[in-house]
Amino acid sequence: MPKVTFKTDLCKGCGLCVNACPKGIIELAKDVINKKGHNPARITDQEKCIACAFCATMCPDCVITVEK
């Protein structure tokens, strides 16, 4: 099963990964604020991930890692 991890303290909450995900399983966490004061991205359902890595490719700060 693919594994997606986020370096949440470095995420600036731009939402590019949310828009890039073809499965729609990434969201900006409205209940969490990181050290930079942003709502970081997170995955909502790890099991639905197809490991396409579109999210990691779109991330301008390289905070997303996708493992197959």
According to the model, what pLDDT value does residue 13 have?
A: 97
Exposure string over 33-45, b if 16+ CB within 10 A, otherwise e: ebeeebbbbbbee
Please state, as a whole number, how many other Cβ atoms lie within 10 Å of the Cβ of residue 9.
11
**In the chain, what are the domains?**
3-67 (3.30.70.20)
pLDDT for 2-40, tens place per residue?
999 999 999 999 999 999 999 999 999 999 999 999 999
pTM for the whole structure? 0.91
The answer on pLDDT for 1 being more than 90 is: no
Pairing of strands 26-28, 3-6: unpaired
Please give the angle made by the CA atoms of 21, 26 and 31, to the nearest 5 degrees: 160
Which residues are within 8 A (CB) of 5 and not within 5 positions of it... i.e. 6 or more apart? Answer: 64, 65, 67
